[in-house]
Amino acid sequence: MLLAEEKDVIQTTNTGLDLDAVQELGSQRVVMVVEDDPDTLNLLKLTLRRAGMNVIGASDGKQALRKWMDANPSVVLLDLMMPEMDGWETLSQLRAISDAPIIILSALSQKDNVVRGLKEGADDYVSKPFVGDEVVARIEAALRRSGPSKPVSVLVFPDHGLSVDLQAHQVTLREQLIDLTPREFAVLEILARQHPKPVSYETLAREVWGEDNEKIRERIKWIVYLLRKKIEKDPSRPELILNKTRFGYQLASE
C-alpha cells in the first residue's frame, strides 16, 4: 500500500526514465529491490535514487538471482509475497550465495513472520505500508554494518537449477554436486561468467590452454562432450551448453 503523499511520485515513471539502468555514481553501492507490484517497485526505485543510491529492480525471485550476478548488489529489499519463487525461497537462495544485508519489506507484519525472517537470514524487517525516509535510513544503517561489498563468488542459474561456485570450484545441478575435472570446470566457468553471451573457440582455447590451434579446438569439443554427459538430461539434445555454429558455445539463456 502506498502512502497518499507518495502516489504522485509514480507519475514520473511515465517520462521514459530507465529505472533499471545503474547510474555512474563512482563507488556508490547498489540496492536491489525485489518486488512484484510495479507501483511499489517504481516508488522504491525513485525514492532510493533521490537519496543518491544506485538501484536495480526484480519482479520475482528468479529474476533477482539472475540479476545478482551482474549487479552484485550491496543490499537487498525483499518482498515476501511473490509468484513462482516467493520471498522465503528467494531469501534462502540469496543467503546461500552472499552475506550482503537483506531487508524484508512486506505486508506480512505478524510477529511470527518477523521472527521467521530474522531467523532465516534477513538483517531487518520493515512492514508495509512504509515511509520512504525510514526505508532509506534502514538501508544506510545496514550498509554501515556490512562494510565493503565482496565480489560475486557463486554464479546461479535458477531456471536450470545450476550453480557454479568460483571459489570452491564446485558445480551443483538440481541440488546434486557434479564431479568435474579441472579442465571441465574451467570451460564451464568461462561459459558461466560470459552468460548470456556466446564464447568463441579462440577465447576458450587461450583462457584454458594458453594458445589456440586446431588440436586444442578438438580438445574443447571433447571437454564439452564430457560436460554434457555429466550435466545434460539428454546429452544428444543439449539444453544447457548450446552450439554456436562455427563460433563456439553458449550457456543457455533463461
**pLDDT score for 4:** 39
State the pTM of this model: 0.64
> What does the alpha-carbon distance between residue 31 and residue 37 come to, in Å, rounded to a whole number?
17
Q: What is the mean pLDDT of residues 135-142?
A: 94
Per-residue pLDDT, averaged over 74-85, amounts to 91
41: Cβ contacts below 8 Å, ≥ 6 apart: 33, 35, 57, 59
Average pLDDT of the chain is 86
* Domains, the chain, ordered by start: 4-146 (3.40.50.2300), 154-251 (1.10.10.10)
CB 201 within 8 A of CB 243: no
Radius of gyration, CA atoms only, the chain: 21
Which pLDDT score is estimated for 166? 87
Tell me what the mean pLDDT of segment 215-237 comes to: 95
Report which of 233, 237, 239 is spatially closest to residue 253, judged by C-alpha positions: 239
Residue 167 in 3-state DSSP? coil
Q: What is the pLDDT of residue 28?
A: 62
Higher per-residue confidence, 95 vs 22: 95
Is the per-residue pLDDT at 11 higher than 60? Answer: no
pLDDT at 254: 60
Spatial contact of 46 and 238, defined as CB atoms under 8 Å apart: no
